[in-house]
């Protein structure tokens, strides 16, 4: 039954990430800080993707260990490449996207994990 708890955790994290993206979209749409909020949106979407990818890889790693197989990577290169792509896009269009906001948005999944850890209503 641990799988069920993992799936519930991923659902909670997905919900929190969507809330963050919604708040950033509202900030982008209704404030004059469009560059900052667009950077946060891009960084958060990449963070969401990386979080989901790591979740899948860790589950696959666990299954591989149980079955006695070998697994060589948890997808570190692909997650770093996604983050690099976000920063590359921000540096290519600095008039539209704030680079530091993209980096801040990349940290959103860690904030979500922290929030979920202290959530008493799990």
User: Which of 104, 96, 51, 113 has the alpha carbon at shortest distance from 78?
Assistant: 51
Model pTM greater than 0.85?
yes
The pair of structure tokens assigned to 26 is 């509202």
Residues 11, 96: Cα–Cα separation, whole Å: 32
Tens-digit pLDDT profile for residues 70-122: 888 888 999 999 999 999 999 999 999 999 999 999 999 999 999 999 887 76
Domain map (residue ranges) of the chain? 2-117
Tens-digit pLDDT profile for residues 32-62: 999 999 999 999 999 999 999 999 999 999 8
Residue 68 has pLDDT above 90, yes or no: no
pLDDT at 122: 63
How many residues does this entry show for the chain?
Answer: 122
Q: Residues 70-91, buried b or exposed e (16+ Cβ, 10 A)?
A: eeeeebeeebeebbeebbebbe
pLDDT at 86: 97
Contacts of 40 (CB under 8 A, 6+ apart): 24, 27, 101, 102, 104, 105, 108
User: Which helix H or strand E contains 108, and what residues bound it?
Assistant: helix 108-117
């Amino acid at each position: 039954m641990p799988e069920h708890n993992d799936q519930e955790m991923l659902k909670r994290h997905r919900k929190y990430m969507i809330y963050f993206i919604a708040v950033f979209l509202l900030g982008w749409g209704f404030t004059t800080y469009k560059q900052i909020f667009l950077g946060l949106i891009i960084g958060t979407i990449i963070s969401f993707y990386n979080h989901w990818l790591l979740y899948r890889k860790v589950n696959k790693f666990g299954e591989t260990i149980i079955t006695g197989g070998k697994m060589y990577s948890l997808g570190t290169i692909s997650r770093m490449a996604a983050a690099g792509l976000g920063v590359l896009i921000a540096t290519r269009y600095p008039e539209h996207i704030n680079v530091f906001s993209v980096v801040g948005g990349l940290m959103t999944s860690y904030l979500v994990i922290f929030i979920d850890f202290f959530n008493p209503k799990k």
